[in-house]
Amino acid sequence: MPTYRVQNPPKRETAPSDRFEAILDPSANPGAQQRSSPLSRRVKWASVVALTVAHPALLVVLHPIVGEASNLLGLAGPVVATLLLGFRVGVFSIVVNTVVSGIVFTCFGMSAAEGQPKALVSLLVTTVVCWGADRLRQFIEQRRAMEEALRQAQKIEAVGRLAAGVAHDINNTLNAIMGSAFALRHELVSHGRSFQDLENIALACDRGAQLTRNLLGFARKSCARNEAFSLNSVVREVQVLIARTVKKNIRVEVRLAEPIAFMRGDEAQIEHAIVNLCLNAVDAMGDEGTLTITTTTHDETVSVSVADTGSGMDAQVREHAFEPFFTTKPVGKGTGLGLSMVYGTVQAMRGTITLSTTLGLGTNITLKFPRVVELAPTPTVSTPPAAEAYSLAGLTILVIDDEPLVLRAAVRMLRTLGCEVLSATNGRDGIETFKANRGSISLAIVDLVMPGIDGVATLEQILELAPQTPILLASGYTPEAEKVDALLGTHPSVGYLAKPYDPSAITAELAKLLPAGRAAMPSSSWTGTG
């Protein structure tokens, strides 16, 4: 995973080797991150001291042979000290070597009048050489850090592309399963048959959809909102959820910032990230402990931290903690996508992650984001009426999707609701079908990712023919989220439909696009979520 920028932690009663604190900045300049040297500080100082001690002995031996040229040996110690420990230590070594060289050359008969100018020249030359060595050291460190960051970025990008591709295929498969299950369930209801197995299928589809959302969160391929909200409100909601799931011996403490911590981003993704951190903390504590959630407001940033009193992380776990599919839980107990999803969320919102852990005492993970000055909308006392659900019965719906399984399942699902369904397997055929039936089509569901004419191009041509036609862009993932967000913002008749979807998801998006006035959906509608 990306290189950690290690901080100087506060002293505690544990051994220094047990304490670890670092900042992971997914959006930082790689050159600004420090790279630790394989040599310990003790070895570095030992090398510098050895060269300093050997300097006068070498001068005594070599001066009778090479004369004043032996003074070039004075460069070795300061240059090595600069490369290993920095420019300040190098300057100190220069002063020591200059004094020692003056003493040695005085013993060989050099006068003060002759030696002082030479010592001054030697001091200036050595200082300039050490300054150049220091610049070289910084360049090498930055180059290594950039190479390491590039390797890690390529690794994360490759995993992200793989995750997005897998999520796309899985969501298409889940969409076909969900649509077919809904159609079958609808038929069984009409015959008074039991459909418990179909409910299990629906729950399995929901679970698979959540897994793909985690994958897309890590890959940053899902549509995200960008609005101001309060971290305090998010933490209160998480507190209610966690309090219902943790064991009685685990105490949950919440400390909220004053003034209220406001940030800009996707509130749902932040809530999901905090929930994942809390669940990991609960698992680390076992049967008892204290879970602390804290929000803090700084001058330009806001932060939320999740601390536990669990077992902490060792070096191996820290190294792979944010990698997808890495987990310390038993087989079947975890997917290994929790912290990787947190990483993707923080990266998408230009934040930083601070990881502080002590073996045997616990872990504290802090998410820090840019602060916004505008306030989130204040909720009113009156409760707004629930959005009216729309009936799909009697509508003529055009479905365009290049995946045959998804297309057949969607057509069958919609027909069981009493819809007249037209279908097309690509954008070109979909546009021709729309032209031939533009007067009767009430809604178009267009797959976003298709070969040839993709969903965006298909949508734009349909809007040219009928600008007021409601269109839902459906996709298992969004490869160009910014472009889609801009499209949704400029076309009020266009909505986004995340795969896998069911009739309730379609009607929820339709309610946002159409004016009120239609009857509610029948009570026998599918109750699962997509």
**Residues 349 and 369: beta-carbon distance below 8 Å:** yes
pLDDT the model gives residue 6? 37
* CA gyration radius, the chain: 33
Among 22-31, 181-190, 356-365, the range of highest mean pLDDT: 356-365
**Residues 292 and 337: beta-carbon distance below 8 Å:** no
Does residue 520 surpass a pLDDT of 70?
A: no
**341 CB contacts (<8 Å, ≥6 apart)?**
214, 217, 218, 272, 273, 276
Where in the sequence of the chain do the CATH 3.40.50.2300 domains occur? 163-221+388-530
Among 126-130, 247-251, 319-323, 337-341, the range of highest mean pLDDT: 247-251
Pairing of strands 352-358, 494-498: unpaired
Nearest to 336 by CA among 348, 328, 344, 345: 328
Helix/strand/coil for 101:
helix
CATH topology of domain 163-221+388-530: Rossmann fold (3.40.50)
Mean pLDDT is lowest, of 32-36, 142-146, 253-257, for: 32-36
Does residue 19 surpass a pLDDT of 60?
A: no
Mean pLDDT is lowest, of 44-48, 114-118, 123-127, 435-439, for: 114-118
pLDDT the model gives residue 337? 59
Encode pLDDT of 22-58 as tens digits.
565 555 544 444 444 556 777 878 877 777 767 666 6
Encode pLDDT of 168-184 as tens digits.
788 888 888 988 888 88
pLDDT the model gives residue 248? 79
pLDDT the model gives residue 407? 92
Q: Would you place residue 478 in the very low, low, confident or very high pLDDT band (cuts 50, 70, 90)?
A: low
Please tell me the pTM assigned to this model: 0.54
Mean pLDDT is lowest, of 39-48, 351-360, 456-465, 488-497, for: 39-48
Q: Would you place residue 435 in the very low, low, confident or very high pLDDT band (cuts 50, 70, 90)?
A: very high
**pLDDT, averaged across the chain:** 75
pLDDT the model gives residue 381? 38
CA atoms within 13 A of residue 448's CA, in its CB half-sphere: 27
Q: Would you place residue 108 in the very low, low, confident or very high pLDDT band (cuts 50, 70, 90)?
A: low
Better-scored residue on pLDDT, 294 or 336: 294
Where in the sequence of the chain do the CATH 3.30.565.10 domains occur? 5-28+223-370
Q: Which superfamily does 5-28+223-370 belong to?
A: Histidine kinase-like ATPase, C-terminal domain (3.30.565.10)
Q: What is the rounded distance in angstroms from the CA atom of residue 326 to the CA atom of residue 529?
A: 28
Does residue 373 surpass a pLDDT of 80?
A: no
Encode pLDDT of 61-97 as tens digits.
666 666 655 566 667 778 888 888 888 888 887 777 7
Nearest to 159 by CA among 213, 203, 73, 220: 220
Does residue 290 surpass a pLDDT of 60?
A: yes
Among 1-10, 56-65, 221-230, 494-503, the range of highest mean pLDDT: 494-503
Mean pLDDT is lowest, of 160-164, 246-250, 436-440, for: 160-164
Does residue 440 surpass a pLDDT of 60?
A: yes
Distance of CA 254 to the CA centre of its chain: 24
Does residue 444 surpass a pLDDT of 90?
A: yes
Cα separation values, 357 from 6, 17, 238, 353, 410, Å:
12, 11, 23, 13, 49
Tokens 């365009």 correspond to 400
